[in-house]
Amino acid sequence: MLDEKTIRNMISAAIGQLAFSYTPYSYFKVGAALLAENGEIYTGCNIENAAYAPTNCAERTAFFKAVSEGVKDFQAICIVGGKDGVLTEYTPPCGVCRQVMMEFCRPDTFQIILAVSQEEYEVFSLKELMPMGFGPGNLL
């Protein structure tokens, strides 16, 4: 379980990413902060594309940044988002992002923090948000 200080740092880092979000089509900005087992935080924002399919979510941006630097063990991710960057409700990860999490995280212990502010957030396990998820263990 993460301590309050770590959660607040992650929320702050995720909110900071909203400034870099590229959303000329949906105007729905998302920021993410991914905590690796080594204590490093990898951030990401969503990056849209006119062709839609090449659009990349904030969560995957953070994961791909970390993996491209050789990091593959993670503890938690914080996700924030809202229209024009205004945080009014929780922004859960899409199905594709949940599948990426299944590739690199332990469903029982990996924590997903959904936040609207430093004071208003909820923490879920990956297993709660993706019951019966398909991951590397299914291929053994």
Residues tagged active-site: 59
Q: 57 to each of 3, 38, 90, 120, 133, how far by Cα in Å?
A: 26, 23, 15, 22, 19
Alpha helices in the chain (DSSP H): 4-17, 58-68, 95-104, 126-129
> Is residue 48 a contact partner of residue 26, using CB atoms and an 8 Å limit?
yes
What does residue 42 show for φ and ψ, rounded to 5 degrees?
-110, 130
Candidates 45, 48, 128; CA nearest to 79 is 45
Alpha helices in 18-121 (DSSP H): 58-68, 95-104
Strand boundaries in 38-91, DSSP class E: 41-45, 74-83
